[in-house]
Structures are given as C-alpha cells and as structure tokens.
Amino acid sequence: MVYLVGAGPWDPGLLTLRGHEVLGRADVVLHDYLVNPALLAFARPDALIEGTGHRPGRLPQDAINARLVAWGQAGKVVVRLKGGDPFVFGRGGEEAEALAAAGVPFEVVPGVTAAIAGAAFAGIPVTDRRYGATLGLCAGHRQAGAEDDPVDWAALAGLSTAVIYMGASQLRAAAAALVAAGRAAATPVALVQWASRPDQRTVVSTLAEAADAAETAGLGAPLTIIVGEVVRLRERLGWFERKPLFGLKIVVTRAQGQQGPLASQLAELGAEILPLPSIDFVPAAPDPAVLGQLGGFDLVIFTSANGVDFFLDALWAAGRDPRAFGSARIACIGPATARRLAERGLRADVIPARYVAEGLLEVLLAEGVAGRRVLIPRARVAREILPETLRTAGADVVVLPVYDTVEPPADAATLARIRQGEADLVTLTASSTVTHFRARFSDAEWAHVCAHTRAACIGPVTAATARAAGLDVAVEAGVYTIPGLVEALARR
C-alpha cells in the first residue's frame, strides 16, 4: 500500500490527521527536500526513511516511481511524503499512475498547498469577493513565452488572483508577461519565501517592481508569488509575522526531556527554537545510611522537581516510600517543585512567595529553625546558601546528594549556528545551565557569542551567573518560573 501524502508547506501543524496516522504506520517513508524533517519524527523508529534529494542530485522521477512500485509489491506500507499537496505541481499524478499501472494499491492524502498556506501565513485571503471571484495557480519555472512554457499568461492575467509556484528565477519574465497580457503594472504582488517557517519573509510590491524587489531583498526559492488586489488585505490581516517573538532565534538550554513546555510556548509566540540541551541529570546513589534513617527529620526541603524525582526513586529502590520520613514537614522553593510533589502524592507545606532559596529562608527563619533536623535532597553541586544559613540559625542539616548534573553532547549543527552568532537570545533556567552552555565554546567563540546572543534568565541568581560569564542579560523574569520567563520574553 502506498500513501501519497501532502506534508503541507513546513509547519508540522499543517499535516493532516490522516497523514499523521499513516506516517505512524509506515514501513518506508520517501520524502522530498521541501518536507520539514520534524515530520519524520512521527514515523516509527524502525521505519526506513529516505529522501529524494535536491537538484542537481535529485533522484530521477523514474527511479522514484520504480522504488514506490517495488516497495509496494514487496508488501510494505509506504508513505510518499511530498511538500504541500501531492497533486499540485508535485508529480503526484505521475507516481500514482506508475502505481496504478503496476497494480499497487495507493491512496492520496491531500495537503495544504503552498499557494493557500503562503497566502494565509502572509495574511492574504487567496479569494475575497470584494476583489473578484477567480483564482489561478501556475508553475513559473519556464521563461514566460519561451517555447517550452506551458502557462497561458493571457488567461491568467484575466483572473482576480494568480499564484505562481517555482517562479523565483523567472519572476521578471512572468511579471512582464502578465503586464503584456493586460494586467495593470500597479497590481500588488506578494512574495512569500519559506511560508510558515519561523524565518518566513514576505515582500509586497507591484508587477512592475516585483523582480527588483525580490533581488533587493535577496529572496529566492522556495517562493510563492501572489498577484492580485487581495494582497492589499495583508496590511490589516498579516498575523504570523506580527507574533511577539517572530523573527527571533532563541536557544533553549533545558534538558532533553524538559525542553517541551518552554520551547513550545516560545514557538507559539513566533520564535524559532534552537534546541541545545545543556544539562542532563544522573542519579547519584544516595547514602544508604541516610535513606535508612529518615524518621528523625522535622523538615524535608526540595529545591527542584528533579530532586523530588531522584529522591523518591532512590527511596523506592531502597524498598521504602515517603512514609519513611513520616510527619516531617515538606518545603520547596517554587511551584514547579510543588507540582511534581503533588504528582507523586505529596503536599508541600511551605512554598515561599519569592521562588529563590532566599525566599524560602525568609519564611523558615521567621518560623525559627533552631534545633530542627532538616534534610535537603538535591544535586551534588548546588548553592550552599540554604544549608549554610539554616546551620547558622541552629538547625541540624543533612544534605543528601540524589543526582548529579552533567553536560550532554551537543547537536553539532545547532552548536555551529550559535557559534556563528545566529542566536538572538539564550534562555537560561539555572546557574548550572549557564556554566554548561559557556563550557561548549572556546574563549574566542564565547566572545563572539556574547556579542550576538543575549540572555533571558529565569531569575536573579541565574542572571548574576550569566552576567559573570560575560553575557548581556536582556530579559529577567519577574516571577521565577518558566511561565514567568515566557511572559517576560513576550513583553520585552
């Protein structure tokens, strides 16, 4: 079975549910270069994934057809993943014909084609009754009027809206052909490059000036060219490029499994995410003697959600559960840690109003801690202010290292982009991420990074570490949480 699936223009959210479903079942995926690689993550981990490549190395169409037929005949579930819609300037018809001729069953899963997506993401309705009622799509990669040009420019010039695919290199000839056929030279034109990507660029011009405008702006393929009065609506309807973080490239340094909430909220606000997990956590095999003696504590303080997890996991592995610390009170520094405690069936008795160690100390010192036995399960390396201050105030404090923070390997391509100064901002959510992020660069590289990339920090402690490392802190959260950081970024 072969599914000819439209992947949409780029944004993974524009893949259809049906496309997502068959992608998840495929034995083999054959994709075009215009397909967002992020979509391939929806395929099974054991699926065979191949690309057709890009000119000049692109697999010839005959070879693509032959592969689809061979896999289909071998009984594989095949997804042929094509940019936009498979049947709009995508040679999907030729592939389907080859399959039909070979008796291989196939199904077509339509996709959002570039004309529709490009216009929508530029804030242009491809049709609007106030501006007319006809829409034409054409392929503009042959020189207009040349012998092999299949486009009827005169017919196209008579439509309210014309959208040109593959027209970046022949824009001048195409625009001239439309004007020669009677379309007004002042007709508005929108050029949309890489529609729906965080680096989408849109230039508005006229038929007379579009080719020059594209050159001046340095626009190239893939470019969707929209010609018609509807382009005027963009001024009021352009929504995508007005998102608060549109055009910004932001590094997210959170751990691999914890990128999600921050990365997705920033992407939602229009940012392009450069994922560079700069911290990872490994269990630290806590002292069995301490784990066996949890009964005597008055207070257990958790400083992070990871501390909760590693401590409770170690307790469980030692054959025990939270009853081991009996009626000890539980304190934590911030709401994310309290939430993790709640997820594991425990209630935090104390959460300070200010989500830093100093905030918790204020509360505890006001209550008085003299003579109290306090357990702090946490990372081996952490700020010592909490245990030290409590000890000074007369508490008997046991620090139990339950995990270590380590520096995970970095994705070379992402690291190279950051090294070249491409990132506008780096989000830093703990002092340890600052240290680990810094350690990825030589001194010379670091100076370059600091000149181009500014820091967005979760709170004052992280910000101080970032400044000490040489970063310019552009954003500091008012509330020291991930949502607080996102809000500060959105308002900046």
Footprint of ligand SAH (CB under 6 A):
9-10, 34, 82-85, 88-90, 113-114, 118, 165-166, 192, 194-196, 221-224
CB of 402 to ligand SAH, least distance (A): 47
Instruction: Give me the least distance between CB of 399 and ligand SAH, in Å please.
Output: 53
Q: At residue 392, what are phi and psi to the nearest 5 degrees? A: -60, -35
> Phi, psi at residue 59, to the nearest 5°?
-60, 130
Q: Report CA-CA distances (Å) from 380 to 363, 384, 400.
A: 24, 10, 8
What is the CB neighbour count within 10 angstroms for residue 33? 14
Give residue number: closest CB to ligand SAH.
84
Question: Which one, 273 or 456, has the nearer CB to ligand SAH?
Answer: 273
Query: 138 or 434: whose CB is closer to ligand SAH?
Result: 138
Closest approach of ligand SAH to the CB of residue 220, in Å: 10
Nearer to ligand SAH, 111 or 277 (CB): 111
Min dist CB 9 to ligand SAH, Å, is 4
Cβ 139 to ligand SAH shortest distance, Å: 7
Min separation Cβ 101 and ligand SAH, Å: 22
Decide whether 35 or 43 has the Cβ nearer to ligand SAH.
Answer: 35
Comparison of 85 and 476: residue with beta carbon closer to ligand SAH: 85
C-alpha distances in angstroms, 166 versus 89, 90, 222, 335, 419? 9, 11, 7, 51, 33
- Measured from the CB atom, the residue of 111 and 334 that comes closer to ligand SAH is 111
Nearest to 167 by CA among 82, 123, 227, 93: 227
CB of 138 to ligand SAH, least distance (A): 10
**Least distance from ligand SAH to the Cβ atom of residue 273, Å:** 18
Instruction: Tell me whether residue 10 or residue 297 sits nearer to ligand SAH (CB atom).
Output: 10
Q: Kindly state the smallest distance separating residue 141's Cβ from ligand SAH, in Å.
A: 7
Q: Return the amino acid letter for 120.
A: A
Select 110 or 277, whichever has its Cβ closest to ligand SAH.
Answer: 110
Tell me whether residue 89 or residue 281 sits nearer to ligand SAH (CB atom).
89
